[in-house]
Amino acid sequence: MKRQSGPFMTIIFACAAALAAMVAPLPAAHAQSKSIRLVALGDSLSAGYNLPQEAAFPVALERALKAKGYKVEVANAGVSGDTSSGGLDRLDWSVPDGTDGVILELGANDMLRGLDPAGTRRNIEAIVERLKSRNIPVLLAGMYASRNLGPDYVQKFDSIYPDIAKKHDLVLYPFFLDGVAGDRSLNLPDGLHPTAKGVEIIVERILPSVESFLARLSQR
């Protein structure tokens, strides 16, 4: 056979190189990493008050993240009725060693009980600082005060979350109940706790913030 040269051989070599690239192993950077372990530390809004276990926020969030290709586990550390003080008291055993990140959702019960926002601020910041000392990043899920508590209380309470997020450079989701609060069709008869559909909306809306949080974790 006559030996080919010139442009023809150039094309052959280019095709061979492309084929080799297709079958070569993926770079290590694209290999699947270990599962990311998150803890949702919160109150009844995280715990899934009066809902089946599979409808609770942590389970629904994990399901949504896995559907988008994330390898993640979200533990449910929500305790119904818990205040920020209660969350601080149980922090060490609620967030075990090996946790990669915490979604912190506390303060609603402080507000409903009319507790001093200054105390809520101290407790939430203490939780953040203690987690930081353990090298565990935090996504802070905020809460808004009921407007019938008066403008002074509302201002002091609502400012807790953005202030702490800014001070500690946290990913902030400003209002955990965004899109659900006040909608009777998305809440249980008590008007305070979301239905399973309400939880799905919470997950849908918080998902971009959680993805930003996961991106931060991947850079550590």
Rounded-to-integer distance, Cα 121 and Cα 118, Å: 5
Reply yes or no on whether 158 is catalytic: no
Structural contact between residues 209 and 173, judged by C-beta atoms closer than 8 angstroms: yes
**Smallest Cα–Cα separation from 50: which of 191, 163, 201, 171?**
191
Neighbours of 152 (CB within 10 A): 9
φ and ψ of 41, to 5 deg: -95, 110
The DSSP secondary-structure symbol of 194 reads B
Percent of the chain with pLDDT over 70: 85
Residues in the chain: 220
Rounded-to-integer distance, Cα 88 and Cα 128, Å: 10
Q: Does domain 33-214 have CATH number 3.40.50.1110?
A: yes
Reply yes or no on whether 190 is catalytic: yes
What value does the mean pLDDT take over residues 186-191? 96
Is the model's pLDDT at 12 over the cut of 60? Answer: no
Query: pLDDT digits over 114-171, tens only?
Result: 999 999 999 999 999 999 999 999 999 999 999 999 999 999 999 999 999 999 999 9
Structural contact between residues 180 and 194, judged by C-beta atoms closer than 8 angstroms: yes
**Smallest Cα–Cα separation from 57: which of 71, 69, 74, 72?**
74
Q: 44, 46, 84, 94: which is the annotated catalytic residue?
A: 44
Is the model's pLDDT at 14 over the cut of 70? Answer: no
Q: 5, 97, 152, 190: which is the annotated catalytic residue?
A: 190
Rounded-to-integer distance, Cα 91 and Cα 85, Å: 10
Is the model's pLDDT at 183 over the cut of 80? Answer: yes
Confidence band (pLDDT; 50, 70, 90) for 33? low
Is the model's pLDDT at 11 over the cut of 60? Answer: no
Q: What is the residue extent of each domain of the chain?
A: 33-214
Compare 5 and 115 and report the one with higher pLDDT: 115
Reply yes or no on whether 30 is catalytic: no
Q: 43, 94, 110, 193: which is the annotated catalytic residue?
A: 193
